[in-house]
Amino acid sequence: MLLVVTGCASNDDEEREPAEVTLYNLSQDRMNARNFVGAVESLTRIERFYPFGVYAEQARADLIYAHYMTGDYDAAYAQSEKFIRLYPRNTNVDYAYFMRGMTGYYQDEGILGDVFSLNLAKRDVSGAVQSYADLTEFMIRFPESEYINSARERLIFLRNLIASSELDGAEYYMKRGAYVAALKRANYVLTNIPNSTEKNRALSIMQDAYEKLGYSEYAQKAQVLKQAN
């Protein structure tokens, strides 16, 4: 009986939580100290023990940033979606939409400082396409948001990355002698991603493909467009 009572008392101690306000203040102190791992722990406890408390909504918003700062971008993305689902009319829901787009594709984070060692376009960019769509939705929904400029800069990066990846595929087709397939890839970039930094590269591929296919007139037009750019 003593063992059972002692065990129950121990479990009660483990489940006994400090007041919600205490937990929230602790999370803010940890955020200010840049202890984001600790902040995630405190904020998660608020979600767990006070899901309908006065700080629950703000804690869920803070969790997006805390996860982001720890480098757990998948968790930040999931938390952003959760916040959008739970609080669609929150005055700061634009932040959740923005962070969903920003964290949807961040695999490049570790190599931006050494872009010469690895071509980003060689990587899987399916996540970049989704992130591009998420940020585009954010910009359409909240054109006056304070985060709009950061979103626009990120879109430029993603747009060029996607275009470059498409042209990597086109160049592969060229090496394989699949000139029509290469033309389709290059044309897709020019048509659907017209403002990317890959314009001239796409036109060069088109020019080369047309020459290989014997369409010298079209090859000449591609060259003229490239010179115009």
Tell me the per-residue pLDDT of 64-84, one tens digit each, with 9 for 90 and over.
999 999 999 999 999 999 999
Cα angle: 83, vertex 85, 91; to 5 degrees: 60
CA dist., res. 189 & res. 203, Å (int): 10
pLDDT tens for each residue of 10-25: 455 445 556 899 999 9
Mean pLDDT of all residues in 101-116: 59
Percent of the chain with pLDDT over 90: 75
Mean pLDDT of all residues in 132-142: 96
- 57: three-class secondary structure by DSSP: helix
